[in-house]
């Protein structure tokens, strides 16, 4: 997953925060179920009566867009444990995209560490899961940028260790999600520690981001490293418990992932996303999830798929 921005996220309305707090509080207590490729939730969407964009021709299930998503990454994708359905900014966005094509949506819970491989194995039509666009992923999939993010370090309130960046974690225990760019960054920082004659960073690597945050809640690690919107979300969810150490770094775009050469899918998703940007629906989703406007993707006439 990629990094995220947000120095000053917009404030949540009290009722909205309470509602989201209840949802994710439950998700921290109850692990999102389902094995790799299993159903996390079917978003009960109804296709539009008059789709504005032609649907792709090679869908896994006719009339349905099958979506892979690691639904443990609020506020972008997580499971509402009260309904069993996937929710979040990314889920709303891909649902809106599908509706422009006259399609229903079926969200499958994915293992982030293998999510692109599973896409290429045709377990999903598309992937939306805070996937950071980098050279390695561009070799495996085509990516339509839709969101900006950065990386940030979450610690206990008061920052008792006085961390300023991951360079200060030598000899310390940190939590991180498997398969993420944050794990790559921590592994690199750990090598720098040992090269300087210091102890390596002791990493606890877990499959689900919600479980990573639980480590910090239980004080089993001194810090967690994740995309900045996730950090912002848990700061608001747990007032007085956490704070950000240092600044947001490594800002980069996140992309909707599609199979290379799947031209009908690529063209349809890109056309739908451009329409959503043009008519203000994208801005409405940012407002709904109270995301920092700096995380918006700027769409220009020459916006292209990263391949």
pTM above 0.95, yes or no: no
Cβ-based burial of 97 (10 A; exposed 0-12, middle 13-18, buried ≥19): buried
Q: Is residue 299 part of a domain?
A: no
Q: Are residues 84 and 221 in the same domain?
A: no
Q: Is residue 127 part of a domain?
A: yes
Which CATH number characterizes residue 218's domain? 3.40.190.10
DSSP 75: T
Beta strands in 141-241 (DSSP E): 142-156, 173-177, 202-206, 223-227
Residue entry with tokens 């769409």: 299
Q: Are residues 155 and 130 in the same domain?
A: no
Q: Encoding tokens for residue 195?
A: 């090269």
Q: Are residues 243 and 257 in the same domain?
A: no
Q: Is residue 41 part of a domain?
A: yes
Q: Are residues 137 and 270 in the same domain?
A: yes
pLDDT of 109 over the 70 cut: yes
Instruction: Give the bridge partners for 80, in sequence order.
Output: 85
Q: Are strands 104-109 and 64-69 parallel, antiparallel or unpaired?
A: parallel
Q: Are residues 43 and 161 in the same domain?
A: no
Mean pLDDT over the full length of the chain: 86
pLDDT per position as a tens digit, 180-231: 999 999 999 999 999 999 999 999 999 999 999 999 999 999 999 999 999 9
Q: Are residues 143 and 29 in the same domain?
A: yes
Q: Is residue 30 part of a domain?
A: yes
Q: Is residue 21 part of a domain?
A: yes
Q: Are residues 129 and 173 in the same domain?
A: no
Q: Is residue 1 part of a domain?
A: no
Closest by CA position to 99, among listed 56, 143, 52, 60: 52
Split into its structural domains, the chain has a count of 2
Residue-range definition of the domain harbouring residue 122: 14-149+252-292
Q: Are residues 115 and 41 in the same domain?
A: yes
Q: Are residues 55 and 72 in the same domain?
A: yes
Q: Are residues 138 and 28 in the same domain?
A: yes
Q: Is residue 8 part of a domain?
A: no
pLDDT of 251 over the 80 cut: yes
pLDDT of 163 over the 50 cut: yes
Q: Are residues 67 and 139 in the same domain?
A: yes
User: Positive or negative, the Cα torsion across 8, 15, 210, 147?
Assistant: negative
Quick check: helix, strand or coil at residue 19?
A: helix
Is residue 187 within 8 A of residue 174, CB to CB? The reply is no
pLDDT per position as a tens digit, 33-62: 333 444 445 555 656 656 889 999 899 999
Q: Are residues 111 and 199 in the same domain?
A: no
Which of 250, 284, 302 represents a domain boundary (last residue)? 250
Q: Is residue 279 part of a domain?
A: yes
Angle formed at CA 277 by CA 108 and CA 105, multiple of 5 degrees:
20
pLDDT per position as a tens digit, 266-300: 999 999 999 999 999 999 999 999 999 999 998 75
């Amino acid at each position: 997953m990629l990094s995220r921005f947000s120095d000053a996220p917009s404030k949540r309305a009290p009722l909205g925060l309470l509602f989201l707090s209840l949802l994710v509080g439950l998700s921290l207590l109850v692990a999102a179920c389902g094995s790799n490729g299993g159903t996390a939730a079917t978003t009960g969407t109804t296709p539009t009566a008059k789709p504005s964009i032609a649907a792709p021709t090679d869908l896994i299930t006719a009339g349905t867009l099958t979506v892979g998503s690691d639904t443990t990454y609020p506020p972008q994708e997580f499971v509402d444990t009260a309904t069993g359905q996937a929710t979040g900014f990314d889920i709303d966005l891909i649902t809106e995209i599908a509706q422009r094509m006259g399609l229903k949506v079926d969200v499958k819970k994915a293992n982030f560490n293998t999510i692109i491989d599973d896409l290429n194995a045709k377990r999903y039509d598309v992937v939306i899961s805070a996937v950071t666009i980098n050279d390695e992923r561009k070799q495996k999939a085509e990516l339509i940028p839709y969101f900006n993010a950065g990386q940030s370090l979450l610690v206990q309130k008061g920052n008792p260790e006085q961390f300023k960046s991951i360079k200060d974690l030598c000899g310390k225990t940190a939590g991180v999600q498997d398969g993420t760019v944050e794990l790559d960054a921590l592994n690199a920082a750990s090598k720098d520690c040992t090269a300087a004659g210091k102890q390596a960073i002791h990493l606890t690597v877990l499959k689900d981001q919600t479980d990573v945050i639980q480590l910090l809640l239980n004080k089993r690690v001194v810090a967690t490293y994740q995309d900045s919107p996730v950090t912002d979300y848990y700061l608001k969810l747990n007032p007085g418990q956490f704070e950000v150490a240092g600044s947001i770094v490594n800002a980069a775009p996140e992309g909707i992932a599609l199979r290379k050469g799947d031209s009908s899918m690529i063209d349809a998703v890109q056309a739908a996303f451009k329409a959503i940007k043009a008519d203000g629906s994208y801005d409405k989703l940012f407002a709904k999830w109270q995301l920092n406007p700096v995380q918006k993707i700027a769409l220009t006439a020459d916006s292209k798929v990263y391949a």
